[in-house]
Chain A
Amino acid sequence: MTFIEIAVIVACVAVVGGVIATTIINRIKGKKTGCCDCSYCDNCHCRDRQEK
């Protein structure tokens, strides 16, 4: 395997792994969706809501 092949594989694994890991960590922390940065509500839907 050449250097570029290894670098591409590592980068791809990092990107896919990073997205999956972030989703899992957000769930564990109680951030249910991850912020969509829409600025309407700051981080309100990332907060663990108690009232319904």
Chain B
Amino acid sequence: MIRIALAGNPNSGKTTLFNILTGSTAHVGNWPGVTVDKREGTYRKKDVSAVITDLPGIYSLSPYTPEEVITRNYILEEKPDCVINIVDATNLERNLYLTTQLMEIDVPLVVALNMMDEVKRRGESIDADALAQKTGVPVVAISALKGEGIDKLIQCAVSQAQHPRKGTTVLKDGNLKHLIGDIRIALESLSVDNTLFHAIKLTELDELETSLHPQLVPMVEKFKATFEDDTFGNDFEAFIANARYSYIAENFARALKTSGKQTGLTRSDKIDRVFTNRWLGIPIFLAIMFAVFHITFSENFLFLKAFIPEDWESLSGTAFSGVFGAGAVNSPGVILQSLTGVFTDWLTDTVRGWLSTSPQWVSGLICDGIMAGIGSVLSFVPQILLLFMFFSILEDSGYMARVAFILDRIFRKFGLSGRAFMPMIMGFGCSIPAMINTRTLADEKERTATIRVIPFFSCGAKLPILTAVAGAIVSSFGVSNADVITFAMYLIGIVTAILTVILMRNTSMRGETPPFIMELPAYHLPQFKSLMIHLWDKLKHFIKKAFTIILASTIVVWAAMHFSFDWQYLTDEQINQSILAGLGQLTQPLFTPMGFGSQLGEYGWVFAVAAVSGLIAKENVISTFGTLAACLGAVIGEDPSGVQYVEQMITFTGATVAGLVAFIVFNMTTIPCFAAVASAKGELRKGTFHRTLLFWLVTSYTAATVVYLVLSWWWTVFIVAAVAAAAVWGIVVYNKKHPVRSI
């Protein structure tokens, strides 16, 4: 089976092509740096079968970041049978820079001119044959998004794979050719492959290359010293880059024919004049995010409460009573969640009916344990999917790349570049891929700081905690709207991230902020298929988790709640003597400073149990509440259902608004789930990882305690401010005495 590698600039459409060729559903996004590791798939059609490798996007073969090294090493060391170089045809000149470097490697090469549909839409055309003639490698015009030209491309790649190819270069300068020739002779004597490529990289004094052949460095230095003054100037690498671009402009770029109709500004440029405006950019971003949260979480949709009678209830007297609102109109997200709640309640009642003749503990375990636990989590799935649908639309349209650009100005002041924003935004989905995506950050300190704050960007699993507790605050205390609280909690996560980054970049991780250069992709309408893939991934992830780790956890929680330490079965009324209650009461004092510890009532230990169970998977917090509430429902003589399980459980313990908000803050900022912790361990050095665990614990404890104190006793804000000011003063004084050494 032949092996074909896909290489090209970031955001040139490699993963879209990979998905078409292999039938995969790998994540694609309209911003540079989505793929940070190589992935493989199989192409099978008629009599052709090939292993396709999707490589992280690179601008040149002189890598700076970890994922760029992966691409270079794969092509040079794994020696694929053919490389397909995906070129963004709308940015021909810049993309061909990488092509000139790939041409220098002894590997069969095919250039795929992607996004040709966009080129045509602009009224332009590219003469693929003329480009093929100039480059000496086959050129095929395609549109990966629309699936055009794919068969021709793969046929061409298969045919090229049969013929070995020797590298060629566009560096035609006489002196340079002389230098490269001499280095090639030296490399050949060392039996090195790809001598042309390695020789050129050595002339550039590429870091990776000089570490491989240090014995040849003096030779290059000597040549450079000879020619530096009169021929190459002071910056040798810049001279070579310039030589490449000049050649591209004079030869290759002529294949591009413009219509001459262009007015200067593209559609994307016009939109960007508003969206990336210095003053309007951030307010527009906040307004968009608030609209998203309002549609997903609001129980006062479009703020219509003032115009609706207080006693109005939709579908009153039916099983769907209140689904569309009561006293106000529910947002689409809340309607979907209510409908799921109606379904899970019906299912639980039906199963309870089937089990009416079975022993009480069987009915209790299945209905109050498993179904209440899993049901309380699954009822939030529609809202989570709706939220991620909006996030996917914003990402695919290219808007999120603009947000990184807008936020770079602010992030830079705190010691991070705008590039760090992309992994953070991914953190809203799941911390694991977000931590892996930090490989696009070249600076080690910036990378560590970003990994540490990623869990503060509330992931999908934390959403049920936010929604349920916010709902409980609204229904029990009549405070504000649920969507406002949820939105505010997201903002608190972001503010905590910013504050801790400032702290880290001024203490343990001092250093210069690396420059941020990012290509803004053109806006385009999100693809329906891509959107569905995102949502399916999310749904699959939740269902899989619900029926494995959450199911197992609910069984363990129910069992620990119905057995005493001397292994006696306990009824619902006796659960205060259970193993779970014992363990909860033991850990309860630890949470007292945060407002959900010893100060709570008889069943207050449930908060301690829920917080600890969340360390396995964050969904466990709400599934634990669901299981506990279902059992306690019998004790308190009420029959709650759906989300009310959680709300009644929370209010039943006597928790205050301050304690509940602190509970959310603690869960949002503490050590993330097991999988995310393991991911951080894989991405960080050992010592740094241990300090990161401590960092999460201390941050969550401090943030939740501060929130509890300030919300409970407003005057404590002055004490907090004084302590913060003293800490800032101490840091400033220390940093003045110990200035950071320049990178």
Of residues 1 to 52 in A, which have CB atoms within 8 Å of B's CB atoms?
A: 2, 4-5, 8, 12, 15-16, 18-20, 22, 32-34, 36-42, 44-45, 49, 51-52
Is there contact, CB below 8 Å, between B537 and A37? yes
A20→B27 CA distance, assembly (Å): 29
* B314 surroundings in chain A (CB, below 8 A): none
* B27 surroundings in chain A (CB, below 8 A): 38-40
CB distance from A32 to the nearest CB of B (A): 5
Q: Which of B39, B362, B432 contacts A38 (CB 8 A)?
A: B432
Of residues 511 to 560 in B, which have CB atoms within 8 Å of A's CB atoms?
A: 533, 537, 540-541, 544, 548-549, 551-552, 555-556, 559
* Interface flags, B434-456, vs A, CB<8A=1, else 0: 00110000000000000000000
Is there contact, CB below 8 Å, between B678 and A5? no
B682 proximal to A (CB < 8 A): yes
Is there contact, CB below 8 Å, between A16 and B675? no
Is there contact, CB below 8 Å, between B678 and A33? yes
Is there contact, CB below 8 Å, between A37 and B540? yes
Query: A34: nearest residue on chain B (CB-CB)?
Result: B675
Is there contact, CB below 8 Å, between A40 and B679? no
* Interface flags, B189-222, vs A, CB<8A=1, else 0: 0000000000000000000000000000000000
Of residues 440 to 493 in B, which have CB atoms within 8 Å of A's CB atoms?
A: none
* A42 surroundings in chain B (CB, below 8 A): 26, 37, 39
Is there contact, CB below 8 Å, between B437 and A40? yes
A8→B27 CA distance, assembly (Å): 39
Of residues 31 to 52 in B, which have CB atoms within 8 Å of A's CB atoms?
A: 34, 36-37, 39
Is there contact, CB below 8 Å, between B366 and A8? yes
A52→B456 CA distance, assembly (Å): 24
Is there contact, CB below 8 Å, between B26 and A38? no
CB distance from B242 to the nearest CB of A (A): 33
**Given that A8-B365, A45-B682 are known contacts, is A36 also in contact with B359, CB under 8 Å in the complex?**
no
B375 proximal to A (CB < 8 A): no
* B436 surroundings in chain A (CB, below 8 A): 40-41, 44-45
Is there contact, CB below 8 Å, between B36 and A36? no
A33→B680 CA distance, assembly (Å): 10
B interface: dominant SS: helix
Is there contact, CB below 8 Å, between B362 and A8? yes
Is there contact, CB below 8 Å, between B551 and A15? yes
Is there contact, CB below 8 Å, between A32 and B678? yes
B358 proximal to A (CB < 8 A): yes
* B426 surroundings in chain A (CB, below 8 A): 40
CB distance from B624 to the nearest CB of A (A): 15
B685 proximal to A (CB < 8 A): yes
A8→B34 CA distance, assembly (Å): 45
* A45 surroundings in chain B (CB, below 8 A): 432, 436, 678-679, 682
**Given that A4-B362, A16-B555 are known contacts, is A36 also in contact with B682, CB under 8 Å in the complex?**
no
* B551 surroundings in chain A (CB, below 8 A): 15
B63 proximal to A (CB < 8 A): no
Is there contact, CB below 8 Å, between A15 and B552? yes
Is there contact, CB below 8 Å, between B682 and A49? yes
CB distance from A34 to the nearest CB of B (A): 6
* A19 surroundings in chain B (CB, below 8 A): 548-549, 552
* A39 surroundings in chain B (CB, below 8 A): 25-27, 533, 537
* A49 surroundings in chain B (CB, below 8 A): 682
* A37 surroundings in chain B (CB, below 8 A): 537, 540-541, 544
B403 proximal to A (CB < 8 A): no
* A12 surroundings in chain B (CB, below 8 A): 365, 555, 559
* A18 surroundings in chain B (CB, below 8 A): 548, 552
A36→B429 CA distance, assembly (Å): 12
**Given that A5-B359, A5-B362 are known contacts, is A38 also in contact with B556, CB under 8 Å in the complex?**
no
Candidate in A5, A15, A41 with the most chain B CB atoms within 10 angstroms: A41
Candidate in A8, A38, A45 with the most chain B CB atoms within 10 angstroms: A38
Complex A-B: 13 CB contacts under 8 Å: A4-B358, A12-B555, A15-B548, A16-B555, A20-B552, A36-B433, A37-B541, A38-B541, A40-B34, A42-B37, A44-B39, A44-B436, A51-B66
5 smallest A-B Cβ distances: which pairs?
A: A40-B433, A33-B678, A44-B37, A19-B552, A42-B39
Excluding A32-B682, A36-B430, A42-B39, 18 further A-B contacts by CB distance (< 8 Å) are A2-B358, A2-B359, A5-B358, A5-B362, A12-B555, A15-B551, A16-B556, A18-B548, A33-B432, A33-B675, A38-B433, A40-B436, A41-B436, A44-B36, A44-B39, A44-B436, A45-B436, A45-B679
